[in-house]
Amino acid sequence: MAALGFSVRRAWLNLRNRWRRRRKFPPFVIFPLEGEIVELPPSRPELPLFLARLVPMPSGPLSVSELRRTFERLALDPRVKGVVLRIECMANPAVYQSLRDLLMRFRNSGKRLVAYAESLGPFQYYLACACDQVVMPPSAEWNVLGFYNEYLFLKDALDRLGVGVDVVNVSPFKSAGDIFSRNDFSPDSRAQAEWLLDARFDALVRGIAEGRNLSPERVRELIDCAPLSAREAVQHGLLDAALYEDELERFLIPEPPAAVDGRIARLAQRIEKVAPGLADDLRRAQHAAAERAQRACINLEEVRRSLLIPIVEYAPRVVGVVKVEGLIVPGTSRRLPIPFPLTGEQIAGSSSIAQAIRRAEADDHVAAVILYVDSGGGSVLASDLIAREVRRLRAKKPVVAYMGGTAASGGYYVSALANCIVAQPLTITGSIGVIAFKPNTREAFEKLGVHRVALQRGRRAALFSDAEPMDEESRAVFAGLVARAYEDFKQLVAEGRAIAPEALEPICGGRVWTGAQAKDRRLVDALGDFTVALEKARELGGLPSDKRAAAVVITPPRRAMLPPAFLAVAHPARVAFDGLRELCELLIETSVWAVSLWFGGVTR
């Protein structure tokens, strides 16, 4: 029955492709890469079909998975001889590596790939070096200067406000609390920041050297000499041409096709005396046809609906994708109205993720699950609840963890029990350790003239109160909580990664690694993009190798809700206050955290 269904589908797609082939268009497609790019498309509310058609939804950022489908169609269509990539995007380093892998696969199809940009940041140029040629306007500057990172430490500012933050961590490498409790790096934390920055810079130099056929030493020299004019960059082999956009067509096709034959002109000449209006129309049509024949480029949106559709036979079962994005906390997943330090904007609720995992577990149509993790961690409790669901799911179906820009601390906690872990070389991961925060606001209230009077029953009833700083006894209690959670974390990693407990401490202790460093330390199994994780899930799930495995995002089951009325939108000040209050509640109610300071931030 499945074979019959595919035969019908193939016949239908062949018919559609035959109709699409009738359209002729220029050989080079201009492909804009604009705005923020993410690995997977953002989740959308599950609406009934009739509502999905009626309720307009925001498009959201462009995703690598969507780009992969489009480039596949461009590679398949014989009318497309090449792509002009306009680079104006932002992404985290791991996503740039996924994009670079995508461009390299497109080049392997034998088609020409040209990058054009008016300005290029370090990672944008890293991406452009995956193309056959790189072009900028003559007046542009080659501004690949390297990386300059600034880190903010808030201790003095909080002291002026009368707010203190007591921190208990497993080691100085677990530095998420340093921004609140210190004015500078600790030596260990500085060393960690240095090796992460070195890894990023080395990847940039290596990518430029490979793409431009230069030695790494020469690339470092040129970066230190930047900025360079576009013409200087051409002389140094960093660019292939310095051209304005209107000069691109002749750069792509130096000798345009011959003009349309003169039959229409001769016909117009014959009928000019009888029907001068018709003769003029024929000449205009001939002129327009000649212009179209000489065009080299066309925008993607003009031809998207005319590109051939790949005819692919899919496996009878699918690979489910469960996303863990943002700060991990108990409760439901949600978005904060504005991003805050350490938390960001996205909240990964353990109950929502657990529901999605259970849905994947119960669905017999799902053969394996990819746990997509892009999180710097969060609550130890919430991370453990998700890890428990992963443990139960793994007993029934294979689980592959794919790490996005960041999968550190609690993000690694939820990944550790997967059958296989895949990351990009520049993914931020590790940070196996825990930390406890305890804010105290006594001086802030005193400065405001607010007097707090507390009544207490129970010796440690005020342990988590922000009214007083930690004393020796409460610090010892917090240290015990941190030590117990840390031992549980290491035991989980030892089990999931099959590493002897005594061998864990040199790679744990809150130390943060890149994906490549983590692979060397057996914390990651393979390096690559989402297609590597999908292939591993297909293999572990027992899906046939001669059929494509479809990846389907699994969301928690919930009732659909209409968007709020426009008048119900809160005032921006009220929205910001509610978000800040939610952050304070998280800090007070959660005693122990598995959270990392280090994130693979969005960059040019």
Alpha-carbon dihedral 36, 41, 47, 52, rounded to 10 degrees: 70
455 in any annotated domain: yes
Task: Residue 112: name the closest of 35, 33, 31 by CA.
Answer: 31
Report pLDDT for 259.
Answer: 54
Gap between the Cα atoms of 15 and 19, Å rounded: 6
Gap between the Cα atoms of 441 and 180, Å rounded: 13
Q: Which domain, by its residues, includes 272? A: 263-294
572-596: pLDDT as tens digits:
444 454 555 555 565 555 656 665 6
39 in any annotated domain: yes
The rounded mean pLDDT for the chain is 86
Q: Are strands 164-169 and 435-440 parallel, antiparallel or unpaired?
A: antiparallel
Report pLDDT for 429.
Answer: 96
| Bridge partners of residue 323, in order along the sequence | 372
Gap between the Cα atoms of 195 and 256, Å rounded: 51
Do 526 and 477 share a structural domain? yes
Task: Residue 324: name the closest of 399, 435, 432 by CA.
Answer: 399
Gap between the Cα atoms of 281 and 421, Å rounded: 65
Report pLDDT for 568.
Answer: 41
Do 523 and 376 share a structural domain? yes
Predicted confidence band of residue 339 (pLDDT cuts 50, 70, 90): low
Predicted confidence band of residue 519 (pLDDT cuts 50, 70, 90): very high
| Bridge partners of residue 378, in order along the sequence | 328, 594
Report pLDDT for 7.
Answer: 79
574 in any annotated domain: yes
Do 230 and 119 share a structural domain? yes
Do 542 and 473 share a structural domain? yes
The three-state DSSP-derived secondary structure of 547-580 is CECCEEECCCCCCCCCCCCHHHCCCHHHHHHHHH
Positive or negative torsion for Cα 539, 541, 547, 548: negative
Do 474 and 489 share a structural domain? yes
Do 96 and 129 share a structural domain? yes
Find where tokens 């509502």 sit.
51
202 in any annotated domain: no
Is residue 44 predicted with pLDDT exceeding 60?
Answer: yes
- The residue ranking higher by pLDDT, 532 or 12, is 532
* Rounded average pLDDT over 50-62: 60
* Rounded average pLDDT over 468-480: 92
Question: Helix H segments across 121-254?
Answer: 122-128, 155-161, 178-181, 187-212, 216-225, 230-235, 248-252
Gap between the Cα atoms of 367 and 316, Å rounded: 9
User: Token digits for 38?
Assistant: 């993410």
Q: Please check whether residue 393 is in contact with residue 357, taking contact to mean a CB–CB distance below 8 angstroms.
A: yes
Report pLDDT for 566.
Answer: 37
* Rounded average pLDDT over 152-171: 91
Is residue 569 predicted with pLDDT exceeding 70?
Answer: no
476 in any annotated domain: yes
Predicted confidence band of residue 61 (pLDDT cuts 50, 70, 90): confident
* Rounded average pLDDT over 159-167: 92
Percent of the chain at pLDDT > 70 equals 82
378: part of which helix (H) or strand (E)?
strand 377-379
**Number of structural domains found in the chain:** 3
Do 419 and 499 share a structural domain? yes
Residues found in the chain? 604
Positive or negative torsion for Cα 282, 287, 290, 295: negative
* Rounded average pLDDT over 35-64: 70
192 in any annotated domain: no
Is residue 531 predicted with pLDDT exceeding 50?
Answer: yes
Q: What is the CATH number of the domain that holds 127?
A: 3.90.226.10
Gap between the Cα atoms of 401 and 322, Å rounded: 10
Do 490 and 350 share a structural domain? yes
* Rounded average pLDDT over 490-506: 93
Gap between the Cα atoms of 252 and 135, Å rounded: 11
* Alpha-carbon 291 to chain mean position: 41
The C-alpha angle 34, 35, 41, rounded to 5 degrees, equals: 100
Gap between the Cα atoms of 489 and 380, Å rounded: 9
Q: Please check whether residue 140 is in contact with residue 118, taking contact to mean a CB–CB distance below 8 angstroms.
A: yes
Gap between the Cα atoms of 556 and 547, Å rounded: 28
Gap between the Cα atoms of 261 and 53, Å rounded: 48
* Rounded average pLDDT over 280-292: 62
Report pLDDT for 43.
Answer: 73
* Rounded average pLDDT over 53-68: 75
179 in any annotated domain: no
* Alpha-carbon 596 to chain mean position: 18
Do 440 and 509 share a structural domain? yes
Report pLDDT for 599.
Answer: 58
433-458: pLDDT as tens digits:
999 988 999 999 988 999 999 999 99
Predicted confidence band of residue 198 (pLDDT cuts 50, 70, 90): very high
Predicted confidence band of residue 254 (pLDDT cuts 50, 70, 90): confident
HSE-CB for 591 with a 13 A CA cutoff: 16
Q: Please check whether residue 311 is in contact with residue 10, taking contact to mean a CB–CB distance below 8 angstroms.
A: yes
Do 252 and 233 share a structural domain? yes
Do 498 and 394 share a structural domain? yes
Report pLDDT for 53.
Answer: 53
* Alpha-carbon 107 to chain mean position: 22
Do 497 and 410 share a structural domain? yes
17 in any annotated domain: yes
Q: Are strands 377-379 and 592-595 parallel, antiparallel or unpaired?
A: antiparallel
* Alpha-carbon 274 to chain mean position: 66
Q: Please check whether residue 377 is in contact with residue 411, taking contact to mean a CB–CB distance below 8 angstroms.
A: yes
Domain boundary among 306, 336, 370: 306
379-429: pLDDT as tens digits:
999 999 999 999 999 999 999 999 999 999 999 999 999 999 999 999 999
Coil, strand or helix: which one is 354?
A: helix
